[in-house]
Structure formats: structure tokens, C-alpha cells
Structure 1
Amino acid sequence: MTVRRALKYRPDVLADDVDTAAQSRRKIGEILGGYSPEQLDVLFDYFARASQAYREAAEPGRRLAPPGALKSKVSLRP
């Protein structure tokens, strides 16, 4: 049995999401602008290593999860 769902295209919601992402990037840029190049090197190294460690730690759970359990749930605001 196949279940189909209709998604309504809402340009206003998409525009809000794009605007929110742009604002977030701008604010993160402002925060990062307060660090020296050497400090940024340390921060980026940390985040790269931490994200890899998280992925490795989560992998066993991902393998044990039932098929489809880890798919993203898309939620568009009404």
C-alpha cells in the first residue's frame, strides 16, 4: 500500500525560512568576527572533530533502528 501526501507550496513560509537562515548566518558571522584567526582555527578544528565523534557514537544506534525510523520529518508551518 502506498500512502501519498500532498504538500502545499507556501512561498511565504519558504521566504520566512530563507530569511531566518540568512539572519542566523549573519549573527554567527558577527560572533565569529570577534575571534582571532588562531582562535578560529581552534574552533573549527574542535567542531570538525566533535561532529565526527558524534557521528561515530551515533552509528551503532542508526544501524539498529528500524528502516525509515531516522528519516527527517518535514514540517511546514501552517
Structure 2
Amino acid sequence: MDVLYFAWLRERIGTNRERVESSAATVADLMAELEARSDGHALAFADKTSLRVAVDQELAEFSAPLAGVREVAFFPPMTGG
């Protein structure tokens, strides 16, 4: 699946997109796998309360299943103004 990173996550990880082969059942499982990839990934996923996720371009919870998913995007909470 494609994993996309936006804003400060992109800066900490060093890329805006990566192709990931994963056996993760949920977004939370995927996050745990990604954290172990590098120090930048670990830093990006350290505070999960400051993260939001979209699964196949739909906002989702960390408990969302990943079966058949093509894209997961991580980003900080959006602010209005």
C-alpha cells in the first residue's frame, strides 16, 4: 500500500510517500511497524494524539482495518481560520 505523510510528519520522516508491504491488520498495527523503520519514523509517530489518518481518502480511526486498503495518509489535525 502507499503511505503518505503530510506537514511535519513528512519533514521528520524525510519523504512524502513510501510504498509499504505490511501484514498489519489495523492502522494502529501499521503505525507500530512504521515506528520501527527509522528514528525519523519513531519521532513522527511518538505522539499519536497529534495525528490523524485517512484510509483510501476517508478520515478513519486508528482501529480501522487495512484489508484491501490501497492508501493510508497521516497528517496533523487540521485547523481552521
Mark yes or no: TM-score above 0.5: no
Name the one with the larger strand percent: 2
**More contact order relative to length (CA 8 Å, sep ≥ 6):** 1
Which has the larger share of helix?
1
**TM-score, scaled to structure 2:** 0.22
Structure number with bigger Rg: 1
Q: State the TM-score, normalizing by the size of structure 1.
A: 0.22
